[in-house]
């Protein structure tokens, strides 16, 4: 009997070491709040901000919110974490705030944003013509819905993307730039553009595509590509190419 | 049946008590996640380089300390970083060190971002001499500063950053005020006027000055121990000599008499 008791005591002693540890999972929660609104393709603010969708990519299940006409939103009980905030609406270019860190707490994190209607400006018959090894002419026919007069300060604009691969696009480019146009809809555009020699040395083939866009830069920073994403872009033009002399 | 010894029962209870009294250690499970950042290198001619690789990135405050380096695009990725506050240090041979102080990292399912950070090639200017001369001036304390500069890139503009203090052990870490001086013609002589705030440098006190070659004007971080701005794009290995002058007495403005 004594042996059993001694054994029991030894066992108890073994478990009595001061190594009681307890794992507590922190579940901080936070609130995200703010106002979002839409702009039309000319950059004028719309009064109706209904049905703008706000999503927190990275949440499981996906947290989303749909605004009413005022455009205000409030999302409660977001577990602390890092999210991509996505603002979208049918017919509008998306906006993202990637890598949004929400620590949580009692006061809301305030975040305002806006999205812009996709441009209706289009480019037909996009073509290039060599001037020298640093510059090319960019030509095309521009169709747009702007009113061009001597007072207009909002002008139709196109954004071009250049790559040395045959599939340039708004997410696959080495050089980009904008050209503003002050001709009537359906008229010819002819402008000089500078070619970045670091990316496109002599003898290389360049491929270009263009989209109608809003006059001011509108978009967001994309983490994985370290590039800016332009969100007011409309329909794409044809792709054309030329060899740099 | 066996007889239970009283002594044994007391002993068992004693051990149980010991167990209860024992303080519990609590561990908190924190979030972890991915951190992505970019570094842009600027060469000696102050233009962007196309190869941004080989920048050492140190996460100060991580245990064990996390170290990584950038790829050609300047990208660095840190996986499984625990949530917390860190300092992020950027080093590359021949470049000025930069530091992001008190970066708060939450962690979670999506990567957090360190927006492109610039790292500047160290200036190869040599400040051969530095001299302050008193300038005859009414009502205000003014000096003229003359420096002789050896500029290897002839005719290219350059920057220098000067620091002022009232103590002789002046450096880029220990100073009262600082500003940038520049020469856009690339000329060897750098000279500029210096107006002194007599609240910071009272009349009769000694003014000390040191100058460093700089690659750029603005980049700094805050030294959290002193609260001073540490300007990062200077070449700390090439300081000028320390020069000093006594703040002269000036005539009080007539409107204050």
Question: What mean pLDDT do residues B190-207 have?
Answer: 91
Give the span between the Cα atoms of A73 and A93, in whole angstroms: 19
Indicate yes or no: CB of B11 within 8 angstroms of CB of A9.
Answer: yes
Q: Where are the alpha helices (DSSP H) in chain B?
A: 6-21
Q: What is the pLDDT of residue B3?
A: 61
Interface check B190 vs A, CB under 8 A: no
Do A19 and B107 make contact, defined as CB atoms within 8 angstroms?
no
Gap from B247 CA to chain A (nearest CA, Å): 50
Residue A188 lies in a domain: yes
- Assess whether A99 and A129 both reside in one domain: no
CB of A14 less than 8 A from some CB of B: no
Report the mean per-residue pLDDT for chain B: 88
Task: Output the domain CATH number for residue A82.
Answer: 2.60.40.1120
Q: What is the pLDDT of residue B140?
A: 84
Residues A159 and A67 in one domain: no
In this structure, the answer to whether residues A163 and A226 fall within a common structural domain is yes
CB-defined contacts A:B, below 8 A: 104
Q: Which of A99, A198, A229 to mutate to test the interface with B (most CBs of B within 10 A)?
A: A99
Both tokens of residue A35?
A: 């106002």
Are A133 and A103 members of one domain?
no
- Residue A165 falls within a domain, yes or no? yes
Could you tell me what percent of chain B has a pLDDT over 70?
92
Predicted pLDDT at B88: 96
pLDDT at B109: 93
Return the DSSP state at A169: B
Do the Cβ atoms of B23 and A18 come within 8 Å?
yes
pLDDT value, residue B169? 94
Q: Report the topology of domain B126-251.
A: Immunoglobulin-like (2.60.40)
Determine the Cα–Cα distance for residues B67 and B114; give it in Å rounded to an integer.
15
Record: contact A223-B73, CB cut-off 8 A: no
Crossing angle of helices A2-15 and B6-21, in 10° steps, is 10
- Of the candidates A245, A179, A174, which has an alpha carbon nearest to the alpha carbon of residue A208? A174
Quote the percentage of chain B above a pLDDT of 90: 63
Interface test mutation site (partner A, options B2, B113, B118, max chain A beta carbons within 10 A): B113
| Distance in angstroms (rounded) separating the CA atoms of residues B68 and B80 | 13
Report yes or no: B45 at the A interface, CB cutoff 8 Å: no
Number of structural domains chain A divides into: 2
Q: Which of B25, B38, B110 sits opposite A21 (nearest CB)?
A: B25
Average pLDDT on B229-238 reads 94
* A157 and A102 within one domain: no
CB contact A83 to B (< 8 Å): yes
Q: Is residue A20 part of a domain?
A: no
Q: Compare all CA atoms of chain A with the CA of B74 and give the residue at the minimum distance.
A: A226
Enter the ipTM.
0.78
Is the preceding omega at residue B69 within 30 degrees of 0, hence cis? no
Q: What is the model's pLDDT at position B62?
A: 93
The gap between the terminal CA atoms of chain A, to the nearest Å, is: 101
Same-domain pairing of A75 and A51:
yes
pLDDT digits (tens, 9 = 90+) for B126-146: 999 999 999 887 788 899 999
One domain, residues A157 and A94: no
Q: What is the pLDDT of residue B22?
A: 58
Candidates B110, B111, B112, B115: best to mutate against A (most CBs of A within 10 A) is B110
**Claim to verify: residue A112 and residue A182 sit in the same structural domain:** no
From A85's Cα to the closest Cα of chain B, the distance in A is 10
Task: Determine the distance from the C-alpha atom of residue A20 to the mean position of all C-alpha atoms in its chain, rounded to a whole number.
Answer: 49
CB contact under 8 A, A101 and B108: yes
Domain positions in chain B? 32-120, 126-251
Please report, for the domain that includes residue A167, its CATH number.
Answer: 2.60.40.2060
pLDDT tens column, B47-84: 889 899 999 999 999 989 999 999 999 999 999 999 99
> How far apart, in whole angstroms, are the C-alpha atoms of residue B105 and residue B116?
17
Are A86 and A132 contained in the same domain? Answer: no
Instruction: Based on the fold, state whether residues A134 and A235 are members of the same structural domain.
Output: yes
Q: Which residues of A touch B74 (CB under 8 A)?
A: 226
Which of B15, B108, B117 best probes binding to A when mutated, by most A CB atoms within 10 angstroms? B108
Is A62's Cβ below 8 Å from some Cβ in B? no
| Mean pLDDT, rounded, for B178-206 | 89
Domain B32-120 classified CATH 2.60.40.4130? yes
A100 occurs within a structural domain: yes
Within a domain: A6? no
Give the bridge partners for A158, in sequence order: A179, A212
A126 in the same domain as A105: no
Q: Do A5 and B8 touch (CB under 8 A)?
A: yes
The Cα A8–Cα A10 span in angstroms is 5
Segment B169-183 mean pLDDT: 93
Q: How many CB atoms lie within 10 A of CB A86?
A: 18
Q: Is the predicted pLDDT of residue B103 greater than 70, yes or no? A: yes
Residues A219 and A178 grouped into a single domain: yes
Does residue A227 lie within any of the structural domains? yes
Confidence category of residue B105, pLDDT binned at 50, 70, 90: very high
Whole-angstrom Cα distance, residue A37 to residue A62? 22
pLDDT given at position A206: 94
Q: Is the pLDDT of residue B15 over 70?
A: no
Q: A25: nearest CA in chain B?
A: B29
Question: For residue A53, what are the domain limits?
Answer: 29-116
Is residue A210 one of the residues assigned to a domain?
yes
B50 interaction partners in chain A (CB closer than 8 Å): 198
Residues of chain A with pLDDT under 50: none
């Amino acid at each position: 009997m004594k042996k059993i008791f001694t054994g029991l005591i030894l066992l108890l002693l073994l478990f009595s070491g001061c190594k009681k540890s307890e794992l507590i999972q922190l579940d901080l929660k936070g609130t995200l709040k703010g106002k979002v609104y839409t702009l039309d393709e000319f950059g004028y603010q719309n009064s109706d901000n209904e049905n703008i969708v706000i999503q927190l990519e990275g949440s499981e299940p996906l947290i989303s919110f749909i605004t009413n006409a005022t455009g205000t939103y409030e999302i409660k009980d977001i577990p602390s974490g890092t999210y991509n905030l996505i603002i979208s609406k049918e017919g509008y270019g998306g906006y993202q705030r990637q890598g949004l860190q929400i620590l949580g707490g009692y006061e809301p994190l305030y975040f305002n944003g806006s999205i812009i209607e996709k441009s209706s400006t289009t480019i037909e018959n996009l073509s290039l013509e060599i001037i020298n090894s640093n510059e090319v002419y960019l030509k095309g026919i521009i169709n747009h819905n702007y009113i061009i007069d001597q007072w207009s300060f909002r002008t139709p604009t196109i954004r071009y993307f250049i790559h040395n691969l045959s599939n340039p696009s708004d997410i696959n480019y080495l050089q980009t730039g904008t050209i503003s146009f002050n001709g009537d809809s359906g008229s010819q555009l002819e402008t000089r553009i500078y070619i970045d020699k670091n990316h496109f040395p002599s003898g290389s083939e360049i491929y270009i595509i263009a989209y109608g866009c809003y006059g001011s830069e509108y978009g967001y920073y994309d983490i994985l590509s370290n590039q800016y994403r332009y969100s007011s872009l409309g329909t794409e033009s044809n792709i054309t190419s030329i060899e740099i002399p | 049946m066996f007889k239970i010894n009283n002594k044994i029962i007391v002993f068992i209870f004693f051990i149980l008590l010991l167990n209860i009294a024992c303080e519990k250690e609590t561990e908190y499970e924190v979030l972890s996640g991915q951190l992505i950042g970019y570094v842009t290198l600027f060469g000696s001619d102050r233009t962007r380089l196309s190869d941004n690789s080989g920048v050492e990135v140190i996460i100060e405050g991580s245990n064990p300390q996390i170290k990584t380096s950038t790829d050609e695009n300047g990208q660095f990725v840190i996986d499984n970083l625990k949530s917390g506050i860190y300092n992020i240090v950027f080093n590359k041979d021949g470049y000025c060190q930069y530091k992001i102080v008190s970066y708060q990292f939450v962690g979670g399912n999506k990567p957090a971002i360190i927006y492109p950070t610039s790292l500047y090639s160290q200036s190869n200017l040599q400040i051969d001499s530095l001299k302050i001369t008193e300038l005859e001036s009414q009502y205000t304390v003014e000096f003229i500063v003359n420096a002789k500069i050896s500029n290897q890139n002839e005719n290219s503009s350059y920057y220098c950053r000067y620091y002022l203090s009232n103590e002789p052990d002046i450096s880029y870490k220990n100073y009262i005020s600082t500003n940038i001086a520049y020469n856009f013609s690339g000329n060897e002589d750098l000279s500029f006027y210096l107006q002194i705030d007599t609240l910071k440098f009272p009349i009769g006190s000694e003014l000390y000055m040191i100058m460093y070659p700089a690659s750029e004007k603005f980049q700094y971080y805050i030294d959290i121990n002193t609260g001073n701005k540490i300007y990062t794009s200077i070449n700390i290995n090439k300081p000028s000599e320390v020069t000093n002058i006594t703040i002269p007495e000036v005539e009080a403005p007539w409107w204050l008499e």
